[in-house]
């Protein structure tokens, strides 16, 4: 059974492919930046587009707070590339095709059907400082993450 991580837990490391076939791992940011890791169901869907564009519109605020944003879904690299280009997304999208990272973070499906929408704020030491889960309040993830980042800046 998959256990959802809790605030205070060490965030599981991951190494996943980007849309340009390079790889990014959580360890790349340790000691350097806080990271917002957000899991979302699917590129180009209404809620996921609204969420991604909300992160995009606030990206400078995240950078000003010394944080990086990473979006993760099971979509492939080509889908991520097209999604990022169409919506001018300045942050990293990673492909978790087999769902291993989603499982490591304990992100469950909603109603057993839809990939969950959960965001994690991970500090520079790799510790989870905030978890927000809401399938329907997609754009709320951004504000919740910013509030927490301001409190630890």
pLDDT in tens, the chain (153 residues): 456 689 999 999 999 999 888 999 999 999 999 999 999 999 999 989 999 999 999 999 999 999 999 999 999 999 999 999 999 999 999 999 999 999 999 998 766 667 888 999 999 999 999 999 887 787 788 999 999 999 987
> Does the residue 126 lie in any domain?
yes
pTM score: 0.93
The residue behind tokens 């990272």 is 101
Number of domains within the chain: 1
Q: What is the CATH number of the domain that holds 63?
A: 3.40.30.10
List, in sequence order, the alpha helices (H) in the chain.
46-57, 59-64, 77-87, 100-104, 140-152
In a domain, 86, yes or no: yes
User: Residue 144 domain-assigned?
Assistant: yes
Residue 4 lies in a domain: no
Structural domain harbouring 147: 29-152
Whether 7 and 126 have beta carbons less than 8 Å apart is answered as no
Classify residue 8: in a domain, yes or no. Answer: no
Q: Which of 16, 35, 48, 89 is catalytic?
A: 48
Q: Is residue 14 in a domain?
A: no
Instruction: Answer whether residue 78 is part of any domain.
Output: yes
Q: Does the active-site annotation cover 53? A: no
């Amino acid at each position: 059974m998959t256990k959802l991580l809790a605030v205070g837990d060490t965030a599981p490391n991951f190494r996943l492919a980007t849309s340009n076939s390079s790889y990014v791992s959580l360890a790349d940011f340790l000691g350097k930046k806080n990271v917002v890791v957000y899991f979302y169901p699917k590129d180009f869907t209404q809620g996921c587009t609204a969420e991604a564009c909300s992160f995009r519109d606030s990206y400078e605020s995240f950078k000003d707070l010394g944080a990086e944003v990473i979006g993760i879904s099971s979509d492939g690299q080509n889908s991520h590339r097209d999604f990022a280009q169409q919506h001018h997304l300045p942050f990293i999208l990673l492909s978790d095709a087999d769902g291993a990272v989603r499982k490591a973070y304990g992100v469950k499906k909603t109603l057993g059907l839809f990939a969950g929408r959960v965001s994690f704020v991970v500090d520079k030491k790799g510790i989870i400082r905030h978890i927000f889960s809401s399938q329907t309040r997609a754009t709320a993830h951004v504000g919740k993450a910013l509030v927490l980042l301001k409190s630890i800046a």
